[in-house]
Amino acid sequence: MDADEHSTEPTAPPGRGLRERMRAARFELRRYSRAERVADGVIHGLGVTASLVAVAVLLVMALPTGETRLIAATAIYGAGMLATFSLSAAYNIVGDNGLGGERATMVLRRLDHAAIYLMIAGTYTPFTLIGLDGHGGRLFGVALLHWLLALVWLVALVGIVLKLVWPRRFRALSLVLYLTMGWIGLLAGGAILAALPPAAVVLLAVGGVLYTAGVVFHLWTSLSFQNAIWHGFVLAAAGCHYAAIVAMVGTA
C-alpha cells in the first residue's frame, strides 16, 4: 500500500487515521500521492506569489492616474484574483495533508469554490469598465454593457450562495454557471473586437480556451497529477487575462 493511501491499520501512528480519513473525504474516491500533492502545492505557491505581484503592479499603474473608475476596476479584479488563489492554496494544502481539522477543511472548501465566481466576475469588471466604455461602448451601448456586468455579478452572487449554503448540491449547475459566466462575454464580441488592443483580444480568447480546456482535467480524476494539471491551466488562463488587463490599463 502506498504510504499516502487510506489506512485503518491499528499500528498507524496516532492521529494518522484522522488525517487519512479527511484526505479521503477531501478527494472522495481519488487519493493523491505525495508527489502529486507536492506538485499541486508548487502550483498554488506560484499562484499566490504571482497574484500578489500582479495586484501590486496593477495598483502602481492605476493609482497615479487618479481615475476612480480605473482604480476601482483594477482593485476589484485584483481582490478577486488574490482571494481565489489564496483560498485555493489554503484549501488544497489543508485538505491534502489533513491539517486544521475537518471543520476547517470544509469551510475552506466552501470558500474556495465560492471564490471562483468572485474571480470570474472580477475579471469581467475591468474589461467592461475600462476597455468597453469608450469606442466599444458606443458600438454596443454603454448601458447594455453595464447590464451585462450586472448580470455577471448577479450570477456570481447566486453561485456564491449555492457554494456557501449547499456545498455538496447543485454540482452540475455550478459547473454550468462557471462556464456560462466565462463565455457570456461573447454577447459583447463586436464591442470587444472594436475596443480592445489586438493583443488583449488574443490574450482574452486564449485565457478563455485554457479555462475551458482545464475543466477536462478537473473532471478526469483518474489521471495522475490531475489536480496539479487543472490548477496549472487555471494559473495560465489567469495569466493571459491579467496580461490583457495590463495592456488595457496601459492604454487607458
Task: Please identify which residue in the block is written with the cell numbers 475596443.
Answer: 195
What type of residue sits at position 21? Answer: R
Q: Is 231 annotated as a binding residue?
A: yes
Domains of the chain: residue spans and CATH: 34-251 (1.20.1070)
**pLDDT tens digit sequence for 153-196:** 998 999 899 889 887 777 778 778 888 887 787 777 777 777 77
**pLDDT tens digit sequence for 84-134:** 999 999 988 776 666 667 788 888 889 998 998 999 999 999 988 876 655
pTM of the full structure: 0.79
